[in-house]
Amino acid sequence: MSENPDKPTINEAGKSKSNDSEQGLEDVEGSGEALQKNIKSGSPSTQRMQRPHSSPPRFVTVEELLETAKGVANMALAHEIVVNGDFRIKPVELPEDSLEKRVKDIVHKAFWDCLSVQLSEDPPTYDHAIKLVGEIKETLLSFLLPGHSRLRNQIMEVLDLDLIKQEAENGALDISKLAEFIIGMMGTVCAPARDEEVKKLKDIKEIVPLFRAIFSVLDLMKVDMANFAVTSIRPHLMQQSVDYERKKFQQLLEKQPNSLDFVTQWLEEATEDLLNQKYKNALPAGEGAASSEADPMPNPVAVQNYAYLKLLKWDHLQRPFPETVLMDQARFQELQLQLEQLTILGAVLLVTFSMAAPGISSQADFAEKLKTIVKILLTDTHLPSFHLKDALTTIGEKVCLEVSGCFALCGLTPFTVEKETALKGQIQAVASPDDPIRRIIDSRILVFLERYLASGHQKPLPTVPGGLSPVQKELEEVAVKFVRLVNYNKMVFSPYYDAILRLIMLPLEQHCPTEI
């Protein structure tokens, strides 16, 4: 049932296997038996499908709980690296008034004070300083790639700890010269973004503050190196991450057998909506999603695609999010907010261009300027203090002002007071979810997303429905993010979805005499 013909077979709750195809079929059947306990299907008529009961509670030890939490954290990290192209490791910044920061500051101050005392002795004692040089040496070596043999040889030669100890014992150690070499090597291996920090080190003349600043910059360089490594390996992580996430989720499922209850409800509702054709008045399913009269059963792939569309209309405050998409809940919420803004923006522009003089919408500069103004006024949609009605009142005033200015430049007849009042009224009416223009834009956006998802990135991509041309760029950007999330989620969890949908469809097929 998955879109991936090479998907792995699954046992009981969907564990990936590498056995032969016959064993795989037995495993899928086994998964059906395991999930049968959680699914109770009613009649395939308009009767509401029965929701699965949660599995009985299972007591777990503290060790099992900690192990599970660690597994979930690791799975979330791997997922974040692969899915989030902007993922970056950031330096740890402790809160100013935290106990941990106070303890850290006290320990660091004691260490640097000790180093200062040693270097102030006559003759100076270099025990701590030499240890610091050793740490710096290992850090610099860790930044080098296999081909950097010349730099490696330089570091090994100049920062030879045995030689440095001998020079210290004989009173011939020039610590400033070592610091100068270290700073020069840091400038050679650092990222361009750190050039300024490294340059500032040359202005520090006192040894202790200099070493302290060197370690501070080295910590930043470690973060840079870690982010470089993440960027380099991300293209190679995809399949490994898919297998890893599925394995970790299976381990979680074995400890918490009810971890697919909300997923089951989610897929059941999608199946029921498609079966009853209710989606036509809410979320469109587009071409190929609905079944023909000769084939009353929903296509399993269409059910999954429609289920993902439902996530863009989710009530996050009232309904638990399906377990298999939980790590992406924040991303789906962000997409949902972006689509709401696009719907308002598209409705306002459609109303404006419909009431304005013919041809005004074809003026690219004016259309882009108007779109930018409306987008700016809708920027704070995510804030609790944002009031859409007030924003649309302001937008109506601004739009009328811009349209009048455009009319004057084009030599057209100015807007009458009646037309201005009508335009402002229609723009303010967009605040209601039941506004016809808003509903049309919302429906067409979802049609486009469904078609984009169903196209599988095949050329040519679906055309943007009528009325959405002014927001085509923004809509396609959202579509790309949405499809990327969906496709990756399918790669990881399609075995579970297939097993659940098999059990949902089976009793429905038995009640349907039509040959499928």
Q: DSSP assignment of 14-56, as one string?
A: TEE--S-HHHHHHHHHHHHHHHHTT-B---SSSSPPBPPPPPP
* Encoded tokens for 72: 């979930």
319 secondary structure, DSSP code: S
Distant-in-sequence contacts of 507-512, Cβ < 8 A, 24+ apart: 507/41, 507/44, 508/41, 508/44, 508/271, 508/275, 508/297, 509/297, 511/43, 511/44, 512/44, 512/296, 512/297
Question: 355 and 474: one domain?
Answer: yes
372 secondary structure, DSSP code: H
Residue 466 forms part of a structural domain: yes
Question: 368 and 470: one domain?
Answer: yes
Contact predicate 50/40, CB 8 Å: yes
**How many Cβ atoms from other residues are within 10 Å of residue 3's Cβ?**
15
Question: 321 and 204: one domain?
Answer: no
Domain end, chosen from 184, 214, 231, is at: 231
Residue 69 forms part of a structural domain: no
Residue 85 forms part of a structural domain: no
Contact predicate 217/186, CB 8 Å: yes
Interatomic CA distance for residues 267 and 300, integer angstroms = 10
**Each residue's pLDDT tens digit, 47-101:** 344 444 444 444 445 565 556 555 556 667 777 777 777 777 787 777 888 888 8
Residue 513 forms part of a structural domain: no
Structural domain harbouring 213: 99-231
Residue 161 forms part of a structural domain: yes
Interatomic CA distance for residues 365 and 375, integer angstroms = 15
Instruction: Residue 446: name the closest of 308, 301, 309 by CA.
Output: 309
Question: 325 and 217: one domain?
Answer: no
* Encoded tokens for 447: 């049609």
What is the distance of C-alpha 455 from the center of its chain? 22
E-only strand ranges, 235-294:
none
Residue 67 forms part of a structural domain: no
Residue 176 forms part of a structural domain: yes
* List of residues 6+ apart from 150 with CB closer than 8 A: none
DSSP assignment string, 253-306: HHH-TTTTHHHHHHHHHHHHHHHHTGGGGSS---TTTSPPTT--SPPHHHHHHH
Question: 208 and 324: one domain?
Answer: no
* Encoded tokens for 295: 């084939």
Q: What is the CA radius of gyration of the chain?
A: 31
* Encoded tokens for 450: 């469904």
Helices (H) and strands (E) in the chain, counts: 17, 2
Domain end, chosen from 214, 231, 248, is at: 231
Side-chain-side CA neighbours of residue 413 (13 Å): 7
* Number of domains the chain is built from: 2
Q: Hunting for tokens 């777990």 — which residue is that?
A: 60
First to last CA, the chain: 14
Residue 381 forms part of a structural domain: yes
Question: 320 and 224: one domain?
Answer: no
Size of the chain in residues: 516
Contact predicate 201/217, CB 8 Å: yes
Question: 383 and 496: one domain?
Answer: yes
* Encoded tokens for 304: 């999954």
DSSP assignment string, 65-127: HHHHHHHHHHHHHHHHHHH-TT---------TT-HHHHHHHHHHHHHHHHHHHHHHSSS---H
Question: 368 and 495: one domain?
Answer: yes
Question: 467 and 347: one domain?
Answer: yes
Q: Could you give the C-alpha distances from 275 to 17, 48, 418, in angstroms and in order?
A: 32, 11, 47
Per-residue model confidence as pLDDT tens for the chain (516 residues): 444 434 333 344 344 333 433 343 334 333 333 333 333 333 333 334 444 444 444 444 556 555 655 555 666 777 777 777 777 778 777 788 888 888 888 888 888 888 889 888 888 888 888 999 999 999 999 999 888 999 999 999 999 999 999 988 888 888 889 999 999 999 999 989 899 999 999 999 888 899 999 999 999 999 998 888 888 777 777 778 888 888 888 988 888 888 899 999 999 999 988 887 644 544 554 444 444 444 567 788 889 999 999 999 999 999 999 999 998 999 999 999 999 999 999 999 999 888 876 666 667 788 888 899 999 999 888 888 889 999 999 999 998 888 888 877 777 777 788 888 998 999 999 999 999 999 999 999 999 999 998 887 666 778 888 889 889 999 999 998 999 899 999 999 999 999 999 998 887 666 654 443
Question: 327 and 447: one domain?
Answer: yes
Domain end, chosen from 231, 251, 286, is at: 231
Contact predicate 302/323, CB 8 Å: no
Question: 345 and 491: one domain?
Answer: yes
